[in-house]
Amino acid sequence: MPSQSMHRRASRYFQDLQDRIVSALEELDGRARFREDSWQRPGGGGGRTRILADGAVFEKAGVNFSDVHGQMSEEFAPQVPGEGREFTACGISLVLHPRSPMVPTVHANFRFLSKGERQWFGGGADLTPYYPYREDVIHFHKVWQRVCTRHEPLVNYAHMKKWCDDYFFLPHRGEARGVGGIFFDYLEGNLRALFAFVRECGDHFLEAYLPIVQRRKDEPYTEQQRVFQEYRRGRYVEFNLLYDRGTIFGLKTAGRTESILMSLPPCVRWEYDYHPEPGSREAELYEVYLKPRDWANE
């Protein structure tokens, strides 16, 4: 299938997915609604940034769509597969920061890119809890395992799960960002089949995350637990600014800065030389949940 045709199909799907996710999140939050900013990229293309702020459930939620094209800089182009500097890219990217520390932060991204003769899909979804519940982590992973299994041997859940564990890792801290999920990039070849897989991933995001929010959004929490949430959000900021491919790609291709940095939480803190109290739920996060584990088969 020609890449231009696939680009158009992927772009339409990502816009529709943005609409569906935004509608579901507004219904769940019950108080706040998304603000939309439509923007144009100098050099080609644009997007729709949708941000919800100060909601009953979500302190900040961003669900972005973009469809851009143009030329990469001479410095950045060699870092991306394909010849030359001309590129196209479309996708959806979301980060949801809940108000309650009992509800995990979640990230998902699905995209289609082309450069020269190369075209590929990338994306994934990962969960970042502050006070994890075992059944929630298992549920999240099982959804993605089922999705991947339906598309074997084109994709492999165990491989994408490990890819996620390896990718969402902070080398300078020696620790994971969260409990993972799936991650994939540079998937090329049978674009029709890969697009079917990506669509199923997008269609199952709400199934993977919303039941967790419904179970935890009314759990009581203390101010001390809120402080720990803000401290752990610092790890989220560090990863997104130092390592995240989407952030780097957007900034290096003259994307809209406000939209790129919507992933950052509104309130965050850094504590000097923090160590959790032994035996605490905070210590459990480090000792149990931030270690790679086959959650889907627990």
Q: In the predicted model, what is the mean pLDDT of the chain?
A: 95
Model pTM above 0.85: yes
Whether the CA torsion 164, 236, 62, 68 is positive or negative: it is negative
Q: Is residue 296 exposed (0-12), middle (13-18) or buried (19+ Cβ within 10 Å)?
A: buried
Is pLDDT of 245 > 90? no
Is pLDDT of 264 > 70? yes
pLDDT at 255: 77
pLDDT tens-digit readout, 268-283? 999 999 999 999 999 9
pLDDT tens-digit readout, 41-61? 888 999 999 999 999 999 999
Phi first, then psi: what are they for 48, rounded to 5°?
Answer: -125, 115
Which is the catalytic residue, given 107, 139, 151, 275? Answer: 107
Give the residue ranges of DSSP H helices in 61-121: none
pLDDT at 2: 44
Three-state SS at 87? strand
Determine what percent of the chain is predicted with pLDDT higher than 90: 87
Specify the DSSP class assigned to residue 81: S
- For residues 100 and 266, what is the distance between their CA atoms, to the nearest angstrom? 13
**Residue 172 bears catalytic tag:** no
pLDDT band for position 201 (cuts 50, 70, 90): very high
Is pLDDT of 144 > 60? yes
pLDDT at 3: 56
The edge-to-edge listing of strands for the beta sheet with 105-115 is 35-40, 45-53, 58-71, 86-98, 105-115, 118-128, 180-187
Q: Which CATH class is domain 3-297?
A: alpha beta
**What average pLDDT does the segment 156-163 reach?**
98
Indicate the domain borders of the chain.
Answer: 3-297
